[in-house]
Amino acid sequence: MGSLTLEKVRSDALSLSEAERAELAHSLVASLDGPADPDADSAWDAEIFRRLAEIDSGTAELIDREELRRRMRARMSRS
């Protein structure tokens, strides 16, 4: 796409309403994703059940909210 065409599309897009721009942005971002993984839902279900079983059996390492916040802040500061 030439730069003049891109500028025209950008200009036209910016003249849309906020809701229309949001819809367009969502469509554009979605178009960058590959095809959906047909096994993803079942894999997530299996992972959720595995984690629940660990909690029920007492083998899961549970942390409190403050520890979660500390770990998340540490990860974000490394980014």
pLDDT at residue number 1:
55
Does this model's pTM top 0.95? My answer is no
pLDDT at residue number 69:
97
Helices (H) and strands (E) in the chain, counts: 4, 0
In the chain, the DSSP E strands lie at none
- Please classify residue 24 by burial: count the beta carbons closer than 10 Å to its beta carbon, then call 0-12 exposed, 13-18 middle and 19+ buried: middle
- Please classify residue 44 by burial: count the beta carbons closer than 10 Å to its beta carbon, then call 0-12 exposed, 13-18 middle and 19+ buried: exposed
Segment 43-53, tens digit of pLDDT: 999 999 999 99
Q: Name the pLDDT band for 36 (thresholds 50, 70, 90).
A: confident
Rounded to whole angstroms, how far apart are CA atoms 50 and 45? 9
